[in-house]
């Protein structure tokens, strides 16, 4: 990380950006939510690690082309914004050879989601794989629109944006892990099926 120009894309409370900055990167944080950015400022004050933060939409990245060596995202914008806008925008902001790493829910989680859009996921396929694009939450306390693509559509989008897949890491918790996300991906389910995956793609 030392010496890299890095963007925490959808930084939220900046926890990941703070970690990356401690490893020597020059970090910038970006998020659409002013509330989340205030949490980020608080975390920076608590840790003594500071870097610039920008309030902006992930669908309209406000940085010059080829500004970053690394763009990283833990959920957030890559699930809540249109990937057909975010991925090309990230590709433009990366320098040649730059790396984009992001964590998102898997298509498997989407297909297994409970009846009428209510979680948690089941061991049966409830929703179509083909035609995945976006879905609106039915939870009145968590009104969001989430985006998802098939694996093939992700790969075609990366290639069209000048990005090459280096790895797809399908996360599996340890057998003795604990979770506070039983309503999202119960441990037993997540041991059998990947609920999240990390894409690692690089600009040519």
Mean pLDDT of 43-63: 97
Model pLDDT for residues 58-106, shown as the tens digit of each residue: 999 999 999 999 999 998 899 999 999 999 999 999 999 999 999 999 9
Integer CA distances (angstroms), 103 to 9, 41, 47, 194, in order: 11, 23, 24, 12
Domains present along the chain, CATH in parentheses: 57-203 (3.40.50.150)
Q: Of the given ranges (47-56, 119-128, 170-179), which has the lowest mean pLDDT?
A: 119-128
Residues 168, 197 contacting (CB under 8 angstroms): yes
Residue 156 CB partners (closer than 8 Å, separation 6+): none
Does this model's pTM top 0.95? no
The token duo for 68 is: 């970053």
Model pLDDT for residues 14-34, shown as the tens digit of each residue: 999 999 999 999 999 999 999
Residue 139 has a pLDDT of 65
37 in the Ramachandran plot: left (φ > 0), alpha (ψ -120 to 50) or beta?
Answer: alpha
């Amino acid at each position: 990380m030392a010496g890299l120009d890095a963007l925490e894309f959808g930084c939220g409370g900046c926890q990941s950006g703070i970690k990356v900055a401690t490893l020597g990167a020059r970090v910038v944080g970006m998020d659409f939510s002013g509330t989340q950015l205030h949490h980020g400022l608080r975390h920076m004050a608590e840790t003594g690690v500071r870097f610039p933060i920008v309030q902006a939409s992930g669908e309209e990245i406000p940085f010059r082309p080829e500004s970053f060596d690394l763009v990283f995202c833990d959920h957030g914008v890559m699930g809540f914004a249109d990937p057909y806008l975010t991925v090309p925008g990230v590709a433009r902001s990366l320098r040649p050879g730059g790396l984009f790493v992001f964590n998102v829910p898997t298509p498997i989680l989407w297909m297994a989601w409970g009846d009428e859009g209510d979680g948690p996921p089941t061991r049966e396929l409830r929703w179509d794989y083909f035609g995945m694009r976006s879905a609106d939450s039915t939870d009145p306390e968590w009104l969001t629109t989430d985006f998802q693509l098939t694996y093939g559509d992700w790969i075609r989008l990366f290639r069209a944006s000048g990005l090459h897949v280096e790895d797809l890491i399908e996360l599996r918790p340890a057998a003795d892990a604990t979770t506070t996300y039983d309503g999202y991906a119960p441990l037993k389910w997540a041991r059998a099926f990947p609920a999240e995956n990390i894409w690692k793609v690089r600009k040519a």
